[in-house]
Structures are given as structure tokens and as C-alpha cells.
Chains A and B, each alone.
Chain A
Amino acid sequence: MATEHIVVNCTINGEQQVFLANERDSLLEALRDRIGLTGAKEGCNNGNCGACCVNMDGRIVNSCLVMAAECEGAEIRTVEGLADGDQLSPLQNAFLEQAALQCGICTPGFLVAAEALLEQNPDPSEHEIRYWLAGNLCRCTGYDKIIKAVQQAAGQSVV
């Protein structure tokens, strides 16, 4: 069971990265174990929970389902890249103000997914938000305050 290692060049949160991936590493494993970015979380490792959601070349992916070796030349954005220095993004602020997290394990995935939603659809309806985020599981909040945080970040009035 000899293991091949592969050199991968990509951009992560705007920075050039070169790392050595085990041929069996997923992007999630590479981010966490090779690069040291542990913001993306493993919840299921088979694409059902969305906790490992990252943005890859402009679209959101479950990083547990992407092989690290596929990332050659890719542009990847993770939760660690959402804030501008010590300035949180409107979505991050809205999550805090709306108390949209309890344990916080699903939060990185929700933030990355919701940011992609607002880039494509700056004024989504409640149904559109729920539909978009249906691939991200949260077990603590019942989703109510997460939906409201996205509405707040979209500039909508929140009851």
C-alpha cells in the first residue's frame, strides 16, 4: 500500500499555496492537516452536512468530496478568508447580532454558503435562502436565526 504524494499549487484566501498531498487526501484533509486551516469542519465526510463547505473557483463545494489533487490551479476561499483583517464581513456581523450560532461547528459552512448565495442573489426570499442552505445541517438553532442573519446581511428588515 505504497502512498503517492502529489505537489499541489493553488490559491487559498488570496495567498499562493504549495503543499504536498497524500493521494488519498480530500481537499478538507489537505486544508486541515497539510495547510493548517481548520475552519472547515468534518461532520460527515460524505457530502451530507455541509460543515466543510468552501468556495472553489466561484462555486461552493463540500471539500470532503473534492480530492486535494484536483485543486491544482484552483482558487479556494474558506471561512478564514471572509473577514478583511479585523473587519468582519456583514454576514459575519449579522450572525453575531442575530445569535445565529449556538455550538458554532456548522457556522463556517453556513457562512461560506450564504456568502455565495448573496453574491448570486443579493435579495433572496426566505424560501430561496432555505433552499440554498438546505445542504448545510445545523442541529442547534432550528435555522430560524440563521435565516434572519442572512436576511439582515442582505439588507432586509428582520422581524
Chain B
Amino acid sequence: MVTAQSKETEQYNVIGTRPIRHDGVDKVTGAAQYGADLNLPGMLAGRVLRSPHAHARIVSIDTSKAEALDGVQAVITNADFPRAGDEEIDTGEGTANLKWVLDNVIASDKVLYKGHAVAAVAAADHHIAEDALELIEVEYELLTPVLDVRDAMVDGSPLLHDGLHTAAMDGSKSDNPSNTASHLQFTKGDLDAGFADADVVLEREFETSMAHQGYIEPHNGTAYYRADGTLDIWTSTQGAFVVRDSVAPLLQLSPSQVKVTPMEIGGGFGGKIPVYLEPLAALLSQKTGRPVKLTMNREEVLLATGPTSGTYMRVRMGAKRDGTITAADVHLAFEAGAYPGSPVGAGAMCALAPYDIPNQRIDGYDVVVNKPKTAAYRAPGAPQSEFATESVLNELAEELGLDPLEMRLQNACVEGAQRADGFTYGIIGNVECLEAAQESPHWQSELQGPNRGRGIAQGFWFNIGFESSAYAQVNGDGTVPLVLGSTDIGGTRASIAMQLAETLGISAEEVHPHVVDTNSVGYTQVTGGSRTTFAGGWAAYECAMDIRRQMEERAAQIWECDAADVTYGDDAIIRGPADEDGNDQQFSFKELAGQLVTSGGHIVGRADVNKTSSGPAFATHIVDVEVDPDTGKVDILRYTAVQDAGTAIHPAYVEGQMQGGVAQGVGMALNEEYYYDESGDLKNASLLDYRMPTALDLPMIETNIVEVPNPGHPYGVRGVGEVPIIPPAPAVRAAIANAIGVHMNELPMSPRAILDATLPSGD
């Protein structure tokens, strides 16, 4: 096991080491309890009836036959929910209109995508619940589906929502209803002058497919509504407080009546932030007075949850012969799915973020179509927009005969550079990533052989901060249970506990992290936005400082001296002034811990933080591919991911995030797509046909962690989860072009797409 710390983390005792994760044993023995593993006395099983049509008006729903089936306890439709109003609720990484949230959970007047929920059943077991679904009679009036983002934007296109008007950035709305929910624009400099300055101008169009987060655990939700009006929910969610604050208004309960317990979660990547099953389980429990568990099957997951936007994008970019980029014009049209709220805003802000380009215009359109409502997916919006811009940048370098890595260095944003959206960078590791890639064994190596090629790309993601809560008590034996509100989706119990341990001067193993329910910890934002190790770690740091202060005060009380004369050292030794005999007075952490209860009581440290700052993340990826000209299949031969982590708290899990991001990015690049027919029927709703990378599809993924500490965090953390999904698609595209001389302008670059592009037409 590699345990050597990096130069940046040598100053620390715990940070930069690789302890075994605290929840590890439960996860290798099968003991860990995920949402679907929950089994409560008297529990009913629920199933959801889903629309077979992509766009239809619901004329009637007759549930009487289903209700009459032996073993069925309740059947609900949208009409059983209290009327949801037009209020906005916090949905974790933004807000949403409550009526739309409810309509997406269970359709009211119209179904807007295949798989849209229309009714839900609670029964003695799931076999009976499934039988009951077949007895529910729904009459639909079919409407023309709108499946392509450009078609949806055309005047006269069938409308999904009669009352939807295009919102501009100033808040004004279009006169006519439209499928375009909003238009945003960021500008900088003088675009025409910038293009006039350029020696070469390239314009390219791109199309990308919807792609799913692909977590291996399907959604689940269990609810128990009691006669006293309290509601318990157990679910695999990225944000227990978001579930509480979504379910409560949907059932017209106060959030204080709702307690959400986050179960272990089998992947999320942004897709387990919205509520789907929890409100249905809650209402079914309210109707039956019994606990109700709902789980989705894989087809439901693919049809009705998650995906990230399909897009149409157009990028025009101009540069001087020496490689200086003078202007860029970016047009982004993102499919939101059935309800407004695609990640086009983030995509627009990220599109040109690594580069200091004086003249820019970025337009973004959020467009509804008859496909599932999109959810956040790892760096939402950025894999698409940066695929477009990075691809044009690579082609510009090729056109100018320049090294694509050198050209990026030449135009790279550094401290003080300003994005088109107005944000000015502090200390960032953009150049450091590019330089580390340039010096990497991979970039320095020669690639030989026919149909082989190499590509690189850069990636940028904001990372976020916001609310995290932590408290910790000191046990008599010197161990410290640490209570957290953040779902641990990939090792954050360990990374947060390590920051507490570092601050207290104890070992990672002496901290025992626990993730608890919404009644047992302060408000904590979602596990998302690469924020958990950043903000959770900050809360742990402040919590530990609180413990240090209290330990100093307690020692002073024992020594009968002034607390100002007691110091808690980073070595976890509490030192006081000399006693009456002139002897040094000191306690080890463990010694004082053992005296706490008898000397005045237990100590609990606590912290609630809300950090609006964050540390931006950059990454540089290098990939070698081989293209089979007969089948169009692309093999990944070698992959190197370089990324600025700020400070790598637990390097093994930082590497894991980088490698996992690469795998998802490669999937998006080569295989993963939502394949709809003209009626809006998803033709590949299984994990056989929705083709995610297997162990056989990837090589080892080399990682190089760059550490440019974030000055805005006690330990320099930036956040690492999201940025590594961004560079793979443009890097793979460049490698394919380098291998066979063909520039692909769609995602995925599947065998079919590559053969379409390479075989003579008419064959």
C-alpha cells in the first residue's frame, strides 16, 4: 500500500495518508444497509404505473379493479395529493416550482415522457403490486411528441406547457408561450473586433445525446406516516434535507413533522438529489397507516430518472497564427426534459472557463422536450459545453500546426483572469495541471501503430461550498464520535473525519464518523457540487477547534489557572503554566478525555458553516486510442488524468474520483446514449443496451494529483468529484481524429457513428 505523503501534505500527520475507510468493513461484508435493504414490521411493497406514451393528455384513470385485488391496500394518483401551488422550493442545487415537482413525481393532466408516473399501488408484496398495475385503466389522448431540442425551439412546435414563456436574464417573459423556458447570455469584449483580429476562424456544430448517471442502485424510498402526524422517510439520497423540504410541502406538512434518514447510497452522481418515490411512499403510508417501501427497477430508472441533457451546440472560435485566441462565440441549446431546469447555465459559465479570451459571447437556451426531466449529473452541463469548446480549440491548434497543449498554456487563465460571467479567479491550478501533463511520462512517450492516435483536453468546474453541520463528543477513552449530515457516496466519512483528526492531533482511526437523520444534525446541503470534503471538512475543522477551546478551559479549571495560559498544541498535548512547585503541567488528549466527566461534564464540539466561496478545479487529460476501421470500435489504450485537488485529504479516494470520472466520461464519449424512436419510445432502457464501460473496456487509469492549495479553506481543499468527467469526451475525439483523420461532431462516438463518418456514403 502506498502511504507516502505528497510534498504539500508532509506538514500534516493525517491529511495525505490513506487510512481504511470507517464504513469499509460493513461494505465488504454485506452488512451496510442501503435503502432497498430496509425491512420494517408490517411493511407494504409499492409499485408505480408509468405512461407508455411520450406526450398525451390523461382523459381518465380508473383504479377500481386494482383496488379490488386481494392484497392491495391503496392506489393513488396525482388527484390524491393536496393541490401544489406555484411556490419555489429548494431542490439542492437550485430551486424548482412545486407544481412541476409534483407533476414530475406523478402526472396530473398530461404525461410528458414515456415512463412518467401516473399511479402508485401499495400491496402485501411486490408481486401483487405489479399485478395491480395491470388492472389500472388509463385513457390517453395522444399528442405529438417533441423529441429534438432544435425542433422544440421552432415557432409552431407542439407545446409541452401552455403557460410556459421564455424568461430572459432580466426576468422579462416572451409574449408567446414556448418550449424555450429561458435564454441566458454572457458577453465580454467586442466579438466582431475579436474575430476581425483572428487569422483563422473555425465554426463547428455538435450534437450530444442524453446520458444517464448510471448508478448501480435503483431509486428507493420507504415512508411511515403515523397517527400523530409525524412522517419517517428512509431513502438512498444525496440530500436528506432536500427530501424533507420537498416532501413536506407536497403533503402539506411542516418540515418539522418529517424526519428523513439517509440510508447508504449506491451511487448518485447528481441523480439522487430530486425526489421521485419518497412522496408516493409517504402518501401511500398516509392512506394505509403502514410503512410502505417503493423501489424502481432498472427500466424505470432509465425511463424516468436522471439523465443529463442532450444538446445542440455551435462554437465559432478565432485565433492568431501564434495561437492567441481572440474571440469565441458559443451557442448552447440544452434539453431540460419535460420540465424546465437543464444545466445550461452552468454549462455556459464553464464553456470557455479555462481560457483568457478577450472577446466572448455565450448564449444558453433551456428547452423542454418529451423526455425525462433532467437531473444533475457530475459537473452538470460542463461535459457538453466543454466538449464543444475544447474540440474547436483542438481543431484550431491542428489548423495552425501548433501543439494543443502549448496552445492551451498560451491562453490559460491565471489568477486575476475574469470569465464572461464576471467571476474573477483567485489562486488556481490551471497552468500547473497543463505543465504536469506536459511533463508526464504519457505525454513524453511516442505512440506508434496504425489507426492509433493521442488527444488531450482541459476541464474546468466551479465546485461549491454552502451548508454543512458537524458535532463531535469526546469519549473517556479519547475516541471521538463525529456526527455528520452528508450522505457518504464515495469516502467522505473518511475525508471529513481525517480533517477533524488532523485538527485535534489524533489518528483517523480514533474518530468515528456517523451519518444521521435530519432531526439529529444541523442543516446540511446535498452531497454534490464536489462540496462535501470541502464544506464538511471545514465544519469538522471548526468543530475540532471548538473542542480544543473547551479542552483548554477544562484543563484550566482542573489546574485552577487562567484559560488564556493553557494551550492545546497541534500534537494534542494540552499545556498549562507551571504549578506551585514549578513543575510543568500537561495532559495528553487521552488523559484529559478520561477526566472530562468527573471534572465538570462531557464535551461536545459543534459547528455549522455556510461557505459561499469555493476552490475552482481544473484537470488535464491525455488519452491514446486505437480505432478499428472495420467495426468503428474505439479502444482506449492508455489514459492519464491530471487534476488540481488543492489538498488531497485521502489521496486514494481522490484518485478514485478521477478514475471514476474518466470512466463515465469515456462512456459518454463512446457508447452511452438515449436512443428514442419517433414516437418517443426509449429503445435501450436496459443495462445491456445502455452500454456503460465494463472492466474490459478500460485500461488502468494513471493519475497525477496536482496540489495548489485553495487559500479559501483551512486545509486547502478544492473538491475533486466532478471535473474529471469533463475532459474525456473532447480528448477521445481528438485522439480519434489523430488516429483516422476524422473529426466526430456527435456524442456518443459509437461504432455506428464512426462508420457513418468513415464509410463512403451509399455503402
Contacts and interface: CB of A to CB of B under 8 A. Distances in A.
Interface of A: 1, 3, 22, 24, 32-33, 36-46, 48-49, 51, 78-80, 82-83, 88, 92, 95-99, 101-108, 111, 126, 129-131, 133-147
Interface of B: 1, 18, 20-21, 23-25, 27-34, 36-37, 39, 125, 127, 131, 213-218, 264-269, 295, 297-298, 489-491, 650, 652-653, 655-657, 659-664, 686-688, 692-696, 698, 700-701
Prevailing SS type, chain A contact patch: loop
Given A43-B298, A48-B686, A130-B695, 10 more contacts: A38-B33, A40-B30, A42-B218, A80-B31, A92-B28, A96-B21, A99-B21, A99-B656, A106-B266, A145-B652
A36 B688 CA distance: 29
Given A102-B489, A103-B489, A137-B687, A142 B660 contact: yes
B694 A139 contact: no
B701 A78 contact: no
A43 B216 CA distance: 5
28 contacts: A1-B131, A22-B125, A33-B125, A36-B39, A40-B30, A46-B298, A46-B688, A49-B216, A79-B28, A79-B29, A80-B31, A97-B1, A99-B650, A99-B653, A102-B267, A103-B216, A103-B266, A104-B27, A105-B216, A105-B217, A105-B267, A107-B28, A136-B695, A137-B692, A142-B661, A142-B662, A142-B693, A143-B694
A102 B32 CA distance: 13
**Which 7 A-B residue pairs are closest in the complex by CB-CB distance?**
A39-B30, A105-B266, A142-B659, A104-B27, A142-B663, A102-B490, A99-B652
B28 A101 contact: yes
A3 B28 CA distance: 36
Nearest to A50: B216
A44 B298 contact: yes
A133 B218 CA distance: 21
Given A45-B298, A78-B30, A137 B686 contact: no
Contacts of B39: 33, 36, 38
A103 B700 CA distance: 20
Contacts of B266: 41, 43, 103-106
Contacts of B23: 104
B698 A143 contact: yes
Contacts of A106: 216, 266
A127 to B, nearest CB: 8
A102 B656 contact: yes
B29 A32 contact: no
A139 B216 contact: yes
A33 B29 CA distance: 18
- The interface centre, meaning the residue of B30, B125, B265 with most chain A CB atoms within 10 A of its CB, is B30
Nearest to A97: B1
Contacts of A142: 656, 659-663, 693, 698, 701
B302 to A, nearest CB: 10
A43 B687 CA distance: 9
Nearest to A47: B688
Contacts of B30: 37-40, 78-80, 108
B176 to A, nearest CB: 42
Contacts of A1: 131
Contact of A24 (B37, B127, B656, B687): B127
Given A105-B34, A138-B216, A97 B491 contact: no
A49 B656 contact: no
A89 B659 CA distance: 26
Given A107-B28, A133-B695, A102 B218 contact: no
A46 B664 CA distance: 22
Contact of B660 (A3, A79, A80, A139): A139
A105 B517 CA distance: 21
A102 B660 contact: yes
Contacts of A3: 127
Contact of B490 (A41, A140, A144): A140
Which of B27, B127, B687 has most chain A Cβ within 10 Å? B27
Contacts of B491: 99, 102
Nearest to A95: B28
Nearest to B658: A142
B75 to A, nearest CB: 17
Nearest to B639: A142
B656 A103 contact: no
Given A32-B37, A43-B217, A49 B687 contact: yes
Nearest to A103: B267
B686 A145 contact: no
A95 B21 CA distance: 11
B220 to A, nearest CB: 10
A108 B29 CA distance: 7
B129 to A, nearest CB: 12
Contacts of A131: 696
